Amino acid sequence: MRKRMLIWGWMLMVGLPLMLFARSDEVIKKEIPVTKEKSLEVNMEMGLANLEIFAGEPSTLIFARVEYNPEKINPIIDYREGSKGILDIESHKKHRTKIEDFDKGENDWQLAFSNRIPIAINLELGLGEGDLNLSDLQIDGLSIDAGLSELMIAFNSPNKERIRKFSVESGLGEFTAKGLLNANIDEFKFSGGLGESTLCFTGDMQNSTNAKIEVGLGSVKIFIKDGLPVKVYYQKSFLSSLDLQYFRKIEDNVYISRNWDDDAVKKLIIDLEIGLGAVTIDWGCGD
């Protein structure tokens, strides 16, 4: 009996703090149908969050599921209907909540968008993780500020819309983009700070793309689809590093792939500006 009482007492001592400090998360679900919209603009400001974006039902403009800690997070979803719908999403920590007080999973967002209309996405993700699978969506604009986040963007199938400008700013985090040729981009601009980034120009190219890539103190690995005509312009500093695989130098700071053709309809032109960082350009895609 004494042994049993000791066991129950030990269980109570261990379990009571867990009960007292157990999280009480809330879940928000919001669904907006497609009505008269011809296009959609999505503006997201997320301080601390885990974000997942993917294609949903064609008849549903957006389905959002948010699981969050109401004591620390204030989620906002606001929509203005019109021929061009405007969706504003905000997720910020509440006043006096410290970053170190957050636990993983206290602010999880799942957003499913319709593939029926063109979508422009403007995202600011301060600290967290992002998985943006933009395959099967009609994307006509992308602006990403990844801050300290770990972010992955994928176009696993050709984008039906033309993206005039796709811009990315990545600070201290880790950024990966796959299927950039599928994205159907006119101008791609990437600015990296101290983090590590991987850019895969793979997929089915529909038109030529100009890529401006700036690297500060970090490192960027660029992978290119085999057989694509590529020209690289390189603005270097004294301490920068560039590793090119199977390129030929034609003049100072200008390199071309073996199959470069000035008259090619589909080609990739890369303008590199490297501070104290390092860039590697290779073929295929490192997974």
**45 and 83 assigned to the same domain:** yes
HSE of 103, CA atoms in CB hemisphere, 13 A: 11
Taking the mean position of all CA atoms in its chain, how far away is CA 30? 23
The pLDDT-based confidence of 285 (bands split at 50, 70, 90) is confident
From residue 51, give the alpha-carbon distance in Å to each of 112, 143, 228, 266: 11, 15, 33, 33
Provide the number of structural domains found in the chain: 2
Mind listing the pLDDT tens digit for each residue in 214-252? 998 899 999 999 999 999 999 877 788 999 989 999 999
Condensed to tens digits (0 to 9), the pLDDT of residues 47-89 reads 889 999 999 999 999 999 999 998 888 899 999 999 999 999 9
Task: Answer yes or no: do 142 and 264 share one domain.
Answer: yes
| CA quadruple 89, 91, 95, 99: dihedral sign | negative
Do residues 146 and 284 both lie within one domain?
yes
- Is 150 inside any structural domain? yes
CA 226 to mean position of chain CA atoms: 24
- 87-108, pLDDT tens digit by residue? 999 998 776 555 555 565 689 9
105 and 207 together in one domain: no
Instruction: Provide the domain limits for residue 84.
Output: 24-111
Mean pLDDT of the chain: 89
